[in-house]
């Protein structure tokens, strides 16, 4: 059974930093593109970033470019999102998600989602 | 960047059929695949349709996806509505640099 478990959310002041983790199990983690998507409670979904299977290719939404860094440790089956210079508008539930196909050159679609971790940015 | 526009809400009765639209603001709807995600209240999203019309694993065939180049839109159709289908539905697509979600449609089954 595919499982994605996010952790690392919490309360951080504006300008602060936070690292989110997503522990994956039930599939060959190193074969899949992985994604981060966020959602302000009561609002819609927003794509944040994705990373290819070996970590050599990453992409970011314009709103987080230069502040967030996505990475992965395939030996630990874990996806990360390092968030710096946090702003009030970054407050949201952050979901990690797995892509639908394995061993592909480009991402296709989100297939499995975690339960999310809440990030609150406030002084 | 383009936008995907969905109706804010739709409602229909159990057993009926409903269609949720997703209109792309620029660029062809057929140029990249469209996905649909379901999010029930208090839950994480789940994948319903990927690559325009492929049902995700475990999704019943009451759910179908399509695209219409003439209106530059995608559609999610749910037939034989059940109360458990009540949820928010999001379309999603992408271009060369960005993944984009629609604003979401709240489906009420009443």
**Span A26-53, pLDDT tens digits:** 999 999 999 999 999 999 999 999 999 9
What mean pLDDT comes out for the span B81-100?
94
Number of other CB atoms surrounding residue B60 within 10 Å: 12
Low-confidence ranges of chain A (pLDDT < 50): none
What are B47-63's pLDDT values in tens digits? 999 999 999 999 999 99
Inspect the interface and report whether the beta carbons of A47 and B104 lie closer than 8 Å.
Answer: no
Mutate to test the interface with B, among A93, A110, A116 (most CBs of B within 10 A): A110
What does the pLDDT read at residue A61? 96
Structural contact between residues A35 and A23, judged by C-beta atoms closer than 8 angstroms: no
Question: Is B96 an 8 Å CB contact of chain A?
Answer: no
| Exposure b/e, B81-104, CB count within 10 A at least 16 = b | beeebbbbbbbbbbeeeebbbbbb
Question: Is B37 an 8 Å CB contact of chain A?
Answer: yes
Residues of A in contact with B33 (CB under 8 A): 108-109
């Amino acid at each position: 059974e595919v499982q994605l478990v996010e952790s690392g959310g919490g309360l951080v002041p504006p300008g602060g930093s936070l690292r989110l983790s997503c522990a994956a199990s039930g599939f060959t983690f190193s074969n899949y593109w992985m994604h981060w998507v966020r959602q302000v409670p009561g609002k819609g979904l927003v794509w944040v970033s994705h990373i290819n299977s070996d970590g050599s290719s990453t992409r970011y939404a314009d709103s987080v470019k230069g502040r967030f860094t996505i990475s992965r440790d395939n030996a630990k089956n874990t996806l990360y999102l390092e968030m710096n210079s946090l702003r009030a508008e970054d407050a949201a539930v952050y979901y990690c998600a797995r892509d639908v196909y394995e061993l592909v050159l480009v991402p296709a679609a989100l297939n499995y989602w975690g339960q999310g971790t809440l990030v609150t940015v406030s002084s | 960047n383009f936008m995907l526009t969905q109706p804010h809400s739709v409602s229909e009765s159990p057993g009926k059929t409903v269609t949720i639209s997703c209109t792309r603001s620029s660029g062809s709807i057929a140029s990249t695949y469209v996905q649909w995600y379901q999010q029930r209240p208090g839950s994480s999203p789940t994948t319903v349709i990927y690559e325009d019309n492929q049902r995700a694993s475990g999704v019943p065939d009451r759910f179908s996806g399509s695209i219409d180049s003439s209106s530059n839109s995608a559609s999610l159709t749910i037939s034989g509505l059940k109360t458990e289908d009540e949820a928010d539905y999001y379309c999603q697509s992408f271009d060369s640099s960005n993944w984009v979600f629609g604003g979401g449609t709240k489906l009420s089954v009443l």
